[in-house]
Structure 1
Amino acid sequence: MRTTSSIFALALLTGSYAIPHGQLQNRLAGIQWADCPPELNAFDPHGRTFGCGTLEVPLDYTGEIPGTLKLDLLKVPAMKESKKGSILFNWGGPGGDGVFNMASASPIVQPMTGGEHDLISWDPRGTGETLAYNCYPNATDRAATVRWHHGQFANASEAALGRTWAEGKILADDCAETLKDIGSLVGTAFTVRDMFQIVDALGEDGKLRYWGFSYGTTLGATALAMFPDRIDRAILDGVQNPMQHYHTFGDPEMYTDSDETWQEFLKACMENPNACALAKHASSAGELGEKIDRLIDNLKEEPIPAGQSIFGYSEIKGLMIGKLYYPSQYSDLADQLEWMLTRNITAFSGLSGIEDPQTVAAATSPEALFGIRCSDKVPRTDNLELVRAELEGQIYRTSTIFGDTPTNTMTACAQWHFAAKERYSGDFRVKTSSPALIIGNTWDPVTPLKSARTISELFEGSALLQHNGHGHMTIAQPSTCTSKHIADYFLTGTLPQPGTICEPDTPLFHKKPKSS
């Protein structure tokens, strides 16, 4: 690992380094707002114009590197006159865009907040045009470098993990060379400080109102831990275990409910044969699962050529875990698996490839996920066996089906050269000035209810709401009950009673009736 002793020391800074509120406030010029372009305003069903803005923040909060960084922001105006301040959003990833996601998701999330707040998101450092994490100078160079990378999950073959380890080293080296001037300036702690710069620039009450999804819960948990006295409202939705984000190679707890979520898919498929193409191939969920298991094994030796793509072991695993994020896509997943079972090459050739839901939002910063996640992580090694030990000793035991899906990020992060100039290294056991609302789905493939319970126990006074739905985060399978609790919390600070469980409004494989 290439790093200087000074950077290593700075990387171990904790919340005690937090800049006092008075020093943060009004340090730089405020947000410069203007009307957003029509393509962003087009998402609003009410015909409103969103506000697009920029804010200059310190490039390096340690002060070692002078200069500023310009953040791009988007504001969705409150729906009601009685404004209660602004809510900041982070959409996860890490590496997810803030501006586009805020515009496109606003019709869904704004009613859930009660409509009395402005909603604001921004492109975090490392994403969009904000210290864009591009490890290759252009798409041509990237394609030339990665075209021979197989990106295989560890169990695709006996050689897959070793090859992926080598590919991870190449990516780590390429990013270290291309981004040597900015690589250490990207990370969660600095993004937290950017977020409070936004809070101060808004000129409201100096308190954070926040809703974070997926990795956004790690960002949110870090913000609560670093600035516990500056919290007004905070929702962590689809919770990662932040301790594992910082202190493990591959976040083993993430996969706690992955296999059970897959079993729920199979069960719902058999219960809804008219909406699930796979149902005709079995008489029970167990039999269907066995057939898919055999298909996965067969694809190791006999991948399917379809159009310009090849669908083998790793591709089907990526398809399965990705589609389990979104119950609205369960019928599509069933169709695609049915095409594989029947070797329907004609139907399958219509697919251009498998998209990773964690990286598709980061198209303008292709290596953002690696840049943020890997720079945050403390453990580094040049010994593949240490990574193998975590895979086989922890992650495979957590998920027998999807345990090898984090292979590519694990192998790159273990060999990453950059360490974020600041990492939060506390235990997240804090009491915030106002209690947080923690929400976890019962069947989430990558952010299990277990992690939500853990964080709720750490943040004193917080409440846990169990969303008894499927998919990744509450908005994947909406619930009027969950939405009411979210609105009550943002509007009045009311938290759900202990043990509250909300049911989703529609079941799996539900199809909207055709309009007459």
Structure 2
Amino acid sequence: MTRTSRPTGPVEGRRRPRASRTAGHRVATAWRLGAGAVAAALLAATAPTPAAAAADTAPVPRLDWASCGDGFECASARVPLDHHDPRGAGLDLSVVRHPASDPAHRIGSLFYNPGGPAVPGTAALPAMLGLFPEEVRARFDIIGFDPRGTGGSAGVQCFENPADEQALLAGTAAGHPEDTVQQRAWTDAYRSLGRQCGAREAALLSHISTANVARDMDLLRRAVGDRQLSYLGTSYGSYLGATYANLFPGRVRAMVLDSAMDPVAWSTGRDGQAATEGTLLRNGNDLAAGRILDAFLDRCGQVGPQACAFSAGTPTATRARFAELLQRLRTRPVAVPGTTFTAGSALETTVLSLYAANPVPGLPGTGWSRLGGTLQALWTATEAPAAPLPPVSHASPDQALAVMCSDSANPPAGADYPAQAAFARSRSGEVGPYFAWAAERCADWPVRDRDRYDGPWKHRTARPILVVANTGDPGMPYEGSRAMARSLARAELLTVDGYGHTVLANPSGCAAGYETRYLIDGVLPARGTVCAPDRQPFAG
């Protein structure tokens, strides 16, 4: 297959995507998200900001939709590699849509980005479609796409043979490094990974920022014939939405940003923060995860072992049991069927498992009750065989790092990442170092996209934006959504007093009702509105 990311001429696309019943497994792995209004939406859009103007000169992609199973249609969209050279080298985006179920009352298209970064939309949309409000599915064609560099859209692949990447990363700790030997191995491996990515994917890495994905999305909007954009972005997808809103403010019809970050903290930080704090610490991701881990352990202790298998009977005893489990795993990894768990891998599993407070249809292994069972299995597991332990299998980080390291400023190589990890542990507990060392992978990244967007975030959009967030979000702190709503020129925050990462994956009928009215009629909830989730953790 022709490589798609080292162009010397036109960049060839990957195969056309297929909507799949196994999409939920892939998303779960990556995750570990009015007639008067219609008439108003058809008003002519104002001009884009100067930073976006290049996208207007690119040819509009032609979308040849074809059935790809389960009621979905798939297509490929040609976009420029470099939006400043719109007729030069290009790449093909994989696109999927679910047509409106009530075509007679169809409003237009609703674009969806599930976050990540680097979660393929062609996998996420089939997995998550059932969570979209029924009336939204009736009135909109819902469209997902793999952002450039992701999945079927010239996905970044730093090694020709994935086994070579596994060999490079095999010596790195699962989750995060702890002692100096592990820290050195981590730093050396990710320095080598960055160099390899720069050597093999130089052309694509120079054009992979969220801003360029926003320019691609504007071309897709034009390709489907919508005068303005309707959009739902969850998690990192909220950053894509905010970027689009500030590059193309006049083209916003309706935009729901679910579980957002502070856009300033995510991109550059404030007052020189980026020299000493990585992206996730600036954004407070460690604080959110630490708070919700404590909430999980407390609730697990309260409901007892019948509802949460890891419960020790009280919140205090359950927190103590978790601390003891981690300490045991540091000296004595345990074996469960198919996997050896260390303290680092157990922490990583725990953090990602907090995202869904209750089971999510289509995403296997989700829910806090399932996490309680996992931790209890580790508590009772037998000691792993004596060293050497089997090599750690790492999911390829290439595509996520390509976006995060291109977009966001991080402390350079040689910065005191151990001190960052110690700081994070002091304020967030055991989960803190995980978030400090995640950003270290960008320390030696070879390139940042010169066309990335670092603000300002106050361009006045044609229509106001709706930000929604759970107060108990472990993936993006609730404070980040408040900061997003304040940062945008026209935005309102809808709060859900519940747990889990993204309101879409942790449903609230109350919030869904407000989102539906906003997307269809353009009506925002009253300022200060607070909704409840449909279910509390461990409910049934």
TM-score normalised by structure 2 residue count? 0.81
Provide the residue aligned with 1:44 in structure 2. Answer: none
Q: Are residues 21 and 371 of structure 1, via their aligned partners in 2, closer, same or farther at CA, if it must alter by over 3 Å?
A: closer
AA at the equivalent of 1:195:
M
Which among 39, 43, 50 is matched to residue 16 of structure 1? 50
Greater displacement, 317-326 / 261-270:
261-270
Alpha-carbon offset, residue 151 of structure 1: 4.0
Alpha-carbon offset, residue 407 of structure 1: 4.4
Q: Are 2:137 and 1:107 aligned?
A: no
> Does the 8 A contact of 1:225 with 1:430 survive in 2?
yes
d(CA) in 2 for partners of 1:153 and 1:502? Answer: 36
Alpha-carbon offset, residue 398 of structure 1: 4.4
Q: How many percent of aligned residue pairs carry the same amino acid?
A: 25
Which among 331, 337, 342 is matched to residue 375 of structure 2? 337
AA at the equivalent of 2:325:
L
d(CA) in 2 for partners of 1:353 and 1:263? Answer: 31
Provide the residue aligned with 2:433 in structure 1. Answer: 404
- C-alpha RMSD of the superposition: 2.5
> Does the 8 A contact of 1:245 with 1:373 survive in 2?
no
Q: Within 5 A, what are the aligned runs for 1:211-360?
A: 211-247=232-268, 248=274, 249-252=278-281, 253-273=284-304, 274-279=306-311, 282-306=312-336, 309-327=339-357, 328=359, 329-344=367-382
d(CA) in 2 for partners of 1:398 and 1:138? Answer: 40
d(CA) in 2 for partners of 1:144 and 1:257? Answer: 33
Q: Are 2:65 and 1:33 aligned?
A: yes
Provide the residue aligned with 1:441 in structure 2. Answer: 470
d(CA) in 2 for partners of 1:34 and 1:180? Answer: 33
Give the SS at the match of 1:288: helix
d(CA) in 2 for partners of 1:144 and 1:344? Answer: 28
d(CA) in 1 for partners of 2:339 and 2:379? Answer: 17
Q: Within 5 A, what are the aligned runs for 1:59-208?
A: 59-63=81-85, 66-80=88-102, 81-111=104-134, 113=136, 115-154=138-177, 156-205=178-227, 207-208=228-229
Alpha-carbon offset, residue 258 of structure 1: 1.6
Q: Are residues 107 and 150 of structure 1, via their aligned partners in 2, closer, same or farther at CA, if it must alter by over 3 Å?
A: same
Q: Are residues 208 and 76 of structure 1, via their aligned partners in 2, closer, same or farther at CA, if it must alter by over 3 Å?
A: same
Greater displacement, 337-346 / 122-131:
337-346
AA at the equivalent of 1:104:
A
AA at the equivalent of 1:302:
R
> Does the 8 A contact of 1:151 with 1:408 survive in 2?
no
Q: Which runs of 5+ in 1 are unaligned?
A: 1-13, 42-48, 347-351, 512-516
d(CA) in 2 for partners of 1:140 and 1:319? Answer: 23
> Does the 8 A contact of 2:238 with 2:259 survive in 1?
yes
Greater displacement, 501-510 / 175-184:
175-184
d(CA) in 1 for partners of 2:422 and 2:329? Answer: 22
d(CA) in 2 for partners of 1:259 and 1:430? Answer: 34
d(CA) in 2 for partners of 1:344 and 1:367? Answer: 34
Alpha-carbon offset, residue 315 of structure 1: 0.8
d(CA) in 1 for partners of 2:413 and 2:176? Answer: 19
Q: Deviations over 1:276-328 (max 9, x none)?
A: 1122xx33212210221122122212222445532111011101101101112
> Does the 8 A contact of 2:335 with 2:381 survive in 1?
no
Q: Are 2:412 and 1:381 aligned?
A: yes
Give the SS at the match of 2:138: coil
Alpha-carbon offset, residue 377 of structure 1: 2.1
Give the SS at the match of 1:455: helix
AA at the equivalent of 1:134:
Q
> Does the 8 A contact of 2:469 with 2:496 survive in 1?
yes
Greater displacement, 457-466 / 263-272:
263-272
Q: Which runs of 5+ in 2 are unaligned?
A: 1-47, 269-273, 360-366, 385-389
> Does the 8 A contact of 1:112 with 1:483 survive in 2?
no
